[in-house]
Chain A
Amino acid sequence: MSTGQDLRQRRSTPTAATPPADRPRPVRPRGERGRGASLLLHTTLSLAGLVALFPVAWIAYISLGPGTDDFLHPGRILGRASLSNYGYVLFHTDFFTWFANSVIVGLGTMVFGVLIAASAGYAVSRMRFPGHRQLMWTFLLTQMFPVSVLLVPLYTIMAKLDLLNSYQGLILIYCSTVVPFCAFMMKGYFDTIPVEIDEAGRVDGLSPFGVFWRLIIPLARPGLAVAGFYSFLTAWGEVAYSSIFMLSSDKYTLAVGIQTFVSEYSQQWNLMAAMAVLVAIPAALVFYLVQKHLVTGLTAGGTKG
């Protein structure tokens, strides 16, 4: 123990017993670290953060270079960085049409997908109806479907229903991919809401649907936010189905539109990079809007059977 501390202690509590030099060193409480541990912690996390950030930052940097193969000579970009790629993408392509299409499909998937996933999740969570086990098993099963088995038959069905090249068709297909996971998650979330709330609602004269709509949905907002976010981002970033089912340029989503910059004849990587950045910004914004709920929403789904 240092002399300074000894002095201070003696001055503040002159009558105190001798400093407890023989007491065992107190166990360091959780959440407190030595300087070395702290440095190590921050170094590790900064490095990991850098690895996570780098590819995203890189594409943003490349997008500033006006030449098509500037990505091979990144040093060149510094001297002549410009927003010309953005100007071209925004005003000389169908960007705004594609953007609107992506928003329509994304929101449609989100609203429709979350609604039906929530109602199914609620049914499975609260009601022991015959078939609820099989339903959960089917949800898991649909996660195992390889895209390639479904493509041909799906195309035939969509053609028969006249849903090719239409928003509704793509929204329906996306729902079939997002709904199982969302229903899972929502079921887990509903399981954490006490059943007494339902019972109180029923006593007060609400129908089962009324209970669901007026009491449970408002309580499940964090879970709904996560499910909605997951649906929106899945739709926003999906490539395989949209490339096959959206046939004309006025119906392309961003994921399809971006591929038009790279073909056998021309490879405009710089334009593709600029568009990639423009696509990523809204997705990242949506993500950070709900990220507050993300942890609670996901855990509830993960922990409760």
Chain B
Amino acid sequence: MTLAGIKRSYDRHWYAWAMAAPVVVVLGVLVLYPLGRGAYLSLTDATSLNVGRTIGMNHIPDTYSWVGLRNYTRILSGADHEFWPHFVWTIVWTAGCVTLAYTIALGLAVLLNRPMRFRTLYRVLLVLPWAVPTFVTMFSWRLMLADNGVVDTLLGYLHLPAPGWLSVPIWQQVSAIGVNTWASVPFLMVSLLGGMQAIPKELYEAAEVDGATAWQRFRHVTLPGLRPVSSTIILLGVIWTFNQFNVIFLLFGTNGADSVQILVTYAYQLFYGQQPQDFADSAAYGVIILSMLVVFTSIYRRWLARNEQQVAV
């Protein structure tokens, strides 16, 4: 671009840039710079022992060194015996949570999207898991799922054994997916409900005139009408679930419960849950997680574009 071109572009767009600038500055300082720094750390052997720090008056300089891609090759080749098991569980977790939550949310939205008595009451109840802060509800679930807690008591009334929700690996995974689904349904439901209300009523009337059954109306009017909303919330759902730190952290803590740690919480564990803190590996995990999400998003968007659908990005 020539100098004059830049000037013209500036004259035309300076206010647009001015309006976007605050966001760019905030994200640049607090997200992009730390990302670059984290990516750099992942190429070193930094731990809490060799990173520069200040103790009292003494400043200890950095002593870690550049190791190139060694962290990545060790992690991805399976030599740390941690990455692949956590990776598989993360995929199961993400697919399970998003599928379950989306299906339930769609069902509830269809049920709610009609005139009936108590509609407001139902809606208020159903969005509760979203309205109450996560750390409060997760704390409640922890008490409920504890050994001899209320869930075990209820199972006892039905003469079912108490499986140890928070201690036996497979049941830890079941309760993690269950609780996260419970927590994420309201957002999806409200979005889908909004999407349904944006579908023109004439389409349903036309379908009725043509003698379409309720199922056909759902299949051929509601579902296609929801596609833009669905593609967006599924994408966000996958990203958020893949990175869902709070639910697992608050339900199980970072130490112990190894089989239920997804990649994000495992990376946090490398960072906080041990001495010395492994900065380099933690950062490498972070970079790997980010790359996987970027690849997934690109494929997903290309797939949507091929199907001539839109996603709000």
Binding site for B on A (CB under 8 A): 27, 29-31, 38, 41-42, 44-46, 48-53, 55-56, 58-59, 62, 71-72, 74, 115-117, 119-120, 122-124, 126-127, 129-132, 135-154, 156-157, 172-173, 175-176, 179-180, 183-184, 187-188, 207-209, 212, 233, 236-237, 239-240, 255, 258, 269, 272-273, 276-277, 279-280, 283-284, 287-288, 291, 294-296, 298-305
Is A299 in contact with B191, judged by CB distance below 8 angstroms? yes
Q: How far is the CA of A149 from the CA of B36 in the complex (A)?
A: 10
Known interface pairs A276-B140, A295-B193; A144-B26 also in contact (CB < 8 Å): no
Within residues 119 to 139 of chain B, which ones have a CB less than 8 A from any CB in chain A? 121-137, 139
Is A299 in contact with B197, judged by CB distance below 8 angstroms? yes
Q: How far is the CA of A212 from the CA of B15 in the complex (A)?
A: 11
Is B190 in contact with A295, judged by CB distance below 8 angstroms? yes
| A40 closest partner in B (C-beta) | B111
Is A130 in contact with B31, judged by CB distance below 8 angstroms? no
Is A294 in contact with B190, judged by CB distance below 8 angstroms? yes
| A117 closest partner in B (C-beta) | B23
Number of B interface residues, CB 8 Å? 105
Is B236 in contact with A143, judged by CB distance below 8 angstroms? yes
Is A154 in contact with B34, judged by CB distance below 8 angstroms? yes
Give the interface SS of chain B, mostly helix, strand, loop or mixed. helix
Is B268 in contact with A147, judged by CB distance below 8 angstroms? yes
The contact string, 1 if C-beta is below 8 Å from chain A, for chain B 254-297, is 00000000011001101100000001001101110110011001
Known interface pairs A123-B19, A233-B133; A41-B34 also in contact (CB < 8 Å): no
Q: How far is the CA of A220 from the CA of B289 in the complex (A)?
A: 36
B57 at the interface (CB under 8 A from A): no
Q: How far is the CA of A51 from the CA of B178 in the complex (A)?
A: 12
B239 at the interface (CB under 8 A from A): yes
Residues on the A chain within 8 Å of B37, using CB: 152-153, 156
Binds A, one of B64-72, B92-100, B168-176, B245-253: B245-253
Residues on the A chain within 8 Å of B55, using CB: none
Q: How far is the CA of A119 from the CA of B136 in the complex (A)?
A: 33
Is B250 in contact with A239, judged by CB distance below 8 angstroms? yes
Q: List 10 A-B contacts (CB under 8 A).
A: A59-B136, A71-B149, A119-B22, A139-B313, A153-B38, A237-B133, A273-B140, A276-B136, A299-B198, A303-B312
Query: Which 10 A-B pairs rank lowest in CB-CB distance, beginning with the nearest?
Result: A149-B286, A299-B194, A237-B133, A153-B34, A49-B125, A287-B131, A153-B37, A127-B16, A129-B13, A129-B16
Is B133 in contact with A279, judged by CB distance below 8 angstroms? yes
| A259 closest partner in B (C-beta) | B135
Is A120 in contact with B35, judged by CB distance below 8 angstroms? no
**In the assembled complex, how far is the CB of residue B194 from the closest CB belonging to chain A, in whole angstroms?**
3
Is A119 in contact with B243, judged by CB distance below 8 angstroms? no
Choose from B17, B131, B194, B282 the contact partner of A129 (Cβ within 8 Å). B17
The contact string, 1 if C-beta is below 8 Å from chain A, for chain B 37-48, is 110010000000
Choose from B16, B122, B250 the contact partner of A123 (Cβ within 8 Å). B16
The contact string, 1 if C-beta is below 8 Å from chain A, for chain B 82-95, is 00000000000000
| A149 closest partner in B (C-beta) | B286
Is B20 in contact with A302, judged by CB distance below 8 angstroms? no
Q: How far is the CA of A150 from the CA of B264 in the complex (A)?
A: 12
Residues on the B chain within 8 Å of A152, using CB: 37-38, 41, 271, 279, 282-283
Q: How far is the CA of A139 from the CA of B111 in the complex (A)?
A: 33
Residue pairs across A and B with CB atoms within 8 Å: the count is 311
Is B135 in contact with A237, judged by CB distance below 8 angstroms? yes
B164 at the interface (CB under 8 A from A): no
Residues on the B chain within 8 Å of A304, using CB: 228, 312
Residues on the A chain within 8 Å of B38, using CB: 149-150, 152-153
Is B136 in contact with A120, judged by CB distance below 8 angstroms? no
Is A142 in contact with B268, judged by CB distance below 8 angstroms? no
Q: How far is the CA of A188 from the CA of B121 in the complex (A)?
A: 29
Q: How far is the CA of A52 from the CA of B310 in the complex (A)?
A: 32
The contact string, 1 if C-beta is below 8 Å from chain A, for chain B 110-123, is 01101111100111
Residues on the A chain within 8 Å of B239, using CB: 143-144
Q: How far is the CA of A139 from the CA of B38 in the complex (A)?
A: 19
Q: How far is the CA of A29 from the CA of B193 in the complex (A)?
A: 21
Is B20 in contact with A295, judged by CB distance below 8 angstroms? no
Residues on the A chain within 8 Å of B200, using CB: none
Q: How far is the CA of A207 from the CA of B19 in the complex (A)?
A: 13
Choose from B15, B108, B146 the contact partner of A71 (Cβ within 8 Å). B146
The contact string, 1 if C-beta is below 8 Å from chain A, for chain B 178-194, is 00001001100011011
Choose from A44, A62, A188, A277 the contact partner of B111 (Cβ within 8 Å). A44
Is B134 in contact with A237, judged by CB distance below 8 angstroms? yes
Q: How far is the CA of A57 from the CA of B24 in the complex (A)?
A: 42
Residues on the B chain within 8 Å of A48, using CB: 108, 122, 125-126
Is A74 in contact with B131, judged by CB distance below 8 angstroms? no
B303 at the interface (CB under 8 A from A): no
Is A302 in contact with B125, judged by CB distance below 8 angstroms? no
Q: Beyond A123-B20, A276-B139, A294-B190: 11 further Cβ-contacts under 8 Å? A: A41-B111, A53-B125, A55-B141, A58-B140, A138-B27, A143-B236, A143-B240, A239-B250, A258-B139, A272-B139, A280-B132
